[in-house]
Amino acid sequence: MGHISGSVRHNRLVITVCSALMMIGVTDALAGGNACCLPDGGCQDVSGQLECDSLMGFFPGDGRPCVQTMCPAPATGACCSTSFPGGCGDGETQADCEMLGDGVWEGADTVCNTSGVCGFVDPTGACCNPNLKGGCLDLTQLDCESDKQASWGGAGTTCTTPDICAPPTGACCDDMLIGGCANLTEADCEMGENASWQGAGTDCQQPAVCQSPGACCSEKFEGGCMDGLLEADCNSQVGTWEGEDTACSSSCGNQPPTGACCSDDFLDGCMDGLTSSECLAATESIWQGADSLCSDPDACETLPVGACCSDDFAGGCQDGLDFFQCNNTDGAQWDGPGSTCADQDACEPPSVPVAGIWSIVMMGIAMAGAVGLLVRSRRRVESGGVA
């Protein structure tokens, strides 16, 4: 047993001595093994802070060698050298810059064409500002535009440049102007009652500068249509522009119905393909209803019929009556040629009573003329002429 105990003690001693030697070895390895991060992004083990400073490096000071240290990427900035166009290059490290021979590094995060970098001086220009004495002062762009009311005239301009601070002109669209457009200041343009100024720098020579917006048909829009777009804007949506002053309510498949229109204004007394409103614009006209044709057997020989609204009728409405038949009933309202009681807005009262009264009066005048047209048409037919 004693022999065994002696062996154990001997082994323990050996382990203790080896551990001590290992610690001494580690300590010796760390001696002079402090990481120093160099300007070029590299790393060098040094004895301490002073040696790292002499290398213009960064000393982490945590006692770790380079193999255990991750140095930051080298800083970049402007480098002044004849090797670069204009004498300055951006995004260069200090080490790379100084390798150029004549390179002078301006510091981390510096940028060329900035005041003070590589001798650059911000150019000045005329700064027009009502808050300045005389309304103008030669300043750098940055200094000028620090005031929202100011307008910089550009590098090299001066307050002595003729009209440098004159108000800008733009295209002024007005039907009262020759050609419908003139390049004017905003103030001069707004003197026109119906004028529209298109903005500073716009010109009457630009295509469609005075174009009025209209409806644009495109699957990109909800409902397939959007109001108030210019042709170019509509084209950018891969849409179909319906023209100036058009509206979605009558565009993109929402066009009002057309039909035959009877009037002495037309050759042979009839024209196809007109809406009700277009027809009524003709002299003593009669619209024959939706989808009617001048070639129909009874075209221009009978009065058009529509829905007649009255409390005397079952459901308050009766289809198939002409204007005179409808108004034989007291208090009745005729909804117009081609209308039916099934229409969504059938028998709705006029939004303005006076306007409704005048509509009836004008309809009566139109229908009275229409009767005369029918009489003349029938006389032509009876005499062998063309109706």
337 touches 304 (CB < 8 A): yes
Quote the pLDDT of residue 351.
46
- Within 13 A of 350's CA, how many CA atoms are on the CB side? 14
| Measured distance CA(134)–CA(110) in Å, rounded | 36
Q: Model pTM? A: 0.32
202 touches 181 (CB < 8 A): no
Quote the pLDDT of residue 376.
53
Token pair in block for residue 345? 């807005």
Quote the pLDDT of residue 364.
52
216 touches 226 (CB < 8 A): yes
Quote the pLDDT of residue 380.
47
Token pair in block for residue 94? 């200090």
Look at the chain and count its residues: 387
- In this predicted model, what pLDDT tens digit does every residue of 186-239 receive, in sequence order? 889 999 888 889 888 899 998 888 888 899 998 888 888 999 898 888 988 888
| Measured distance CA(156)–CA(242) in Å, rounded | 47
| Measured distance CA(181)–CA(189) in Å, rounded | 10
What is the sign, positive or negative, of the torsion defined by CA atoms of 84, 86, 87, 93? Answer: negative
- In this predicted model, what pLDDT tens digit does every residue of 9-28 receive, in sequence order? 545 544 554 454 444 334 43
Residues facing residue 88 across a β-bridge? 80
SS3 per-residue string spanning 171-211: EEECCCCHHHEEEEEHHHHCCCCCCEECCCCCCCCCCCCCC
Closest by Cα among 207, 206, 205, 184 to 196: 184
Enumerate residues 6+ apart whose C-beta is below 8 A from 53: 59
Please, what's the largest Cα pairwise distance for the chain?
Answer: 156
Quote the pLDDT of residue 79.
94
| Measured distance CA(100)–CA(7) in Å, rounded | 70
Quote the pLDDT of residue 183.
93
Show the low-confidence residues of the chain (pLDDT under 50): 1-4, 6, 8, 10, 13-14, 17-18, 20-32, 351-362, 365, 375, 378-387
